[in-house]
Structure 1
Amino acid sequence: MSSSFDRYQKRRLISSYFSVVLSIGLVLFLLGLLGMLVINAKKVSDHFKEQVVVTIYLKDSAKDVEIKQLEKSLALSEYVKSTEFVSKEQAAESMKAENGEDFMEFLGYNPLQNSIDVHVKADYVNETQLQAISEEALTKSFVDEVRYDNDLVTLMNNNVKRISFWILVISALFTVIAVLLINSSIRLSVYSKRFTIKTMQMVGATKQFIRRPFVWKSVRLGVIGAILAMIGMAIVFYYVNKTFPELNLLNNTVLIVALFAGIFMLGIVITWISTFIATQRFLNLKTDQLYY
C-alpha cells in the first residue's frame, strides 16, 4: 500500500515538474518570437520601403554620356541604394508581357521614354526627401519628368509608425503576462509542498535553509524550459530566414545572441524571484492558514 502511494506521489511530482517546464518553455518561446519581431521590425519595414521606385524619365535628346554621368552621380549619392537604366525598348517589352499584346503595332512607333529606376535607402523614403531628390534630378536639362507613388509612401510611413507603436505595447503587455504565468506555475508547485515547508519550519529549520532547495529546483526547471524555448526559436528563425532570405534576419549575430541570452536569463530570474516570493508567503503563514 505504501509502495503504491509512493509511486502515485512520484507520478504527481513528475507531472507537476513537467507542467512547470512546459509552461515556462512555451511562454519564453512566445516571448522570444516577439523579441525577434521587435529586433527585425525596422529591417522588415526598411525592406518594404526600399521597394519604392523613383523613376527618372529622360528626354529623347539625352546623350549617352549625360545618362551615364547621371547614373554615376546617383550611384555615389548617399540616399541611393541601387539604380537601373531601362531603355524604351525594355519598357515596351515589359508592357507587352504585362498586357499580353503589342501596343506598338497599333501606334506604329514606341511612345515610351528611356528611364532610370532609382531605389532609395529606407531612411530617405519620406515625402520631404523624395521631393528634394525629384527637384535635384529635374535640374538636369535632359531629364523630362520624375515620378514616384507619393500616396504609397505616405501610407507606408504612417503604417510603420502605427505598427511600431503597437509592437512596443504588445511586447510590454506580453512580458507582464509571461511573468504572471510563470509565477502562477511556480506558486502552484510550491503550494503542493506547503505542509512540508511548515513541518521543516516547526522542527527549527531556518527560512534560508527551507527556501534553498525550492529555489534551486525551480531554477533548474527554468533553465530546462529556457533551453526548450531556445531550441524552438532556433527552428523558427531558420525556417523564416529560409523562406524570406531577402530580409537577412540572421545577419545581425550580436542581437540574435543577445536575444537568446536574454531568454535564458529571463527563465532563471523569473523562476528564482517567483519561488522566493512563493516560499516566503508560505513561511509566513500560520499552521491553520495552510488549509485555505
Structure 2
Amino acid sequence: MSSSFDRYQKRRLISSYFSVVISIALVLFLLGIVGFLLLNAKKVTDFMKENVNVTVYLKDTAKDVEIKQLEKSLALADYVKTTDFVSKDDAAEAMKSEFGDDFMDLVGYNPLQNSIDVKLKADFLTNEKLEELTALAQEKSFVDEVKYDESLVELINSNVKKISFWVLLLSAIFTLIAVLLINSSIRLSVYSKRFTIKTMQMVGATKSFIRRPFVWKSIKLGILGAVVALIGLGFVVYYVDKMFPELALRQSLVLIGGLFLAVFLLGIIITWISTHFATQRFLNLKTDQLY
C-alpha cells in the first residue's frame, strides 16, 4: 500500500516538475522572440526602406554613353545603395512573365522606356533627398521623368517611430508577464511542499537550510526550461535566416548569442528569485494558516 502511494506521489511530483519546465520554456521562448524582434527591428525597417524603388525613365533619344554616365554618377552618390539599368526589352519581358500576355501583339510595338532603377540607403529615404535625386536626374535633357511611390515613402517614415515604440512597449509587457507566470508556476510547486517546509522548521532547521534545496531544484528546472526555449528559438532564427537572407542574420551572431545568453540567465534569475520569496512566504506562515 505504501509502495503504491509512493509511486503515486512520485508521478505527481514529476508531473508538477514537467508543468513548471514547460511553463518556463514557453514564457522564455516568447520573451526570446520579442527580444529577437527588438534586435532586428532596425534591420527590418532598413530592409523596407532600401527596397523602395526610384525609377528614372529615359527618352528613346538617350545615347548609351549618356546613360552609362548618369548611372555611374548616381551609383557614386553617397545616399544611393544600388543602381540597375533596365532596357525596354527587359521591361517588356518582365511584364509578359508577370501578366502572361504579350501586350506588344496588341499594340504592335514596345511602348515601354529604358530606365534606371535606383535604391537609396535607408538613412536617406526622405522626401528631401528624393526631391534632390529627382532634380539631379531631370537636369539631363535625355531624362523623361522620375517616379517613386511617394505615399509609400511617407507611410514608412511616419510608421518607423511608432513601430519602435510599440516593440519596446511589447518587450516590457512580455518581460512582466514572463516574471509573473514563472513566479506563479514556482509558487504552485513550492505550495505543494508547504507541509514539508513547516515540518522541517518545527524540528529546528534554519530558514536558509530549508530554502536551499528548493532554490537549487528550481534553478535546475529554470535551466532545463531555458534550454528547451533556446532550442525552439534556434529553430526560429534558422527559419527566418533561410526565408529572409536579406536580413543577414549571420552577420549578427554576436547579438544573437547575447540574446540566447540573456534568455538562459533570465530563466535562472527569475526562478531563483521566485523560489526565494515563495519559500520565505511559507516559512513565515503559522501552522493553522497552511490550510
1:189 maps to 189
Identity of aligned residues (%): 70
Unmatched segments (≥5 aa) in structure 1: none
Say which SS state the counterpart of residue 249 (structure 2) adopts: coil
1:102 maps to 103
* Superposition deviation, residue 208 in structure 1: 1.2
* Superposition deviation, residue 98 in structure 1: 4.5
* Superposition deviation, residue 234 in structure 1: 0.9
**Contact in 2 for aligned 1:104/1:110 (Cα 8 Å):** no
Q: How many residues align?
A: 290
1:171 maps to 171
2:180 maps to 180
Q: What are the within-5 Å matches in structure 2 for residues 105-144 of structure 1?
A: 106=107, 110-144=110-144
Residue identity matched to 1:4: S
* Superposition deviation, residue 24 in structure 1: 0.5
Supply the distance in 2 between the matched residues of 1:149 and 1:242 (Cα, whole angstroms): 29
Distance 1:112 1:4, change over 3 A: closer
1:153 maps to 153
What is the TM-score of this pair, normalised by structure 2? 0.92
Post-superposition CA distance 1:192-225 (Å, at most 9, x none): 1111111222222211111111111100100000
Supply the distance in 2 between the matched residues of 1:145 and 1:217 (Cα, whole angstroms): 70
2:209 maps to 209
Say which SS state the counterpart of residue 55 (structure 1) adopts: strand
1:223 maps to 223
Say which SS state the counterpart of residue 251 (structure 2) adopts: coil
2:270 maps to 270
Considering only aligned residues, what root-mean-square deviation do their CA atoms show, in Å? 1.9
Distance 1:120 1:8, change over 3 A: same
* Superposition deviation, residue 270 in structure 1: 0.2
Supply the distance in 1 between the matched residues of 2:74 and 2:96 (Cα, whole angstroms): 29
1:15 maps to 15
* Superposition deviation, residue 3 in structure 1: 1.6
What is the TM-score of this pair, normalised by structure 1? 0.92
Supply the distance in 2 between the matched residues of 1:235 and 1:117 (Cα, whole angstroms): 36
* Superposition deviation, residue 110 in structure 1: 4.4
Supply the distance in 2 between the matched residues of 1:83 and 1:155 (Cα, whole angstroms): 23
* Superposition deviation, residue 111 in structure 1: 4.2
Question: Quick check: 50-59 or 211-220, which moved more?
Answer: 50-59
Supply the distance in 2 between the matched residues of 1:267 and 1:12 (Cα, whole angstroms): 23
Question: Quick check: 208-217 or 120-129, which moved more?
Answer: 120-129
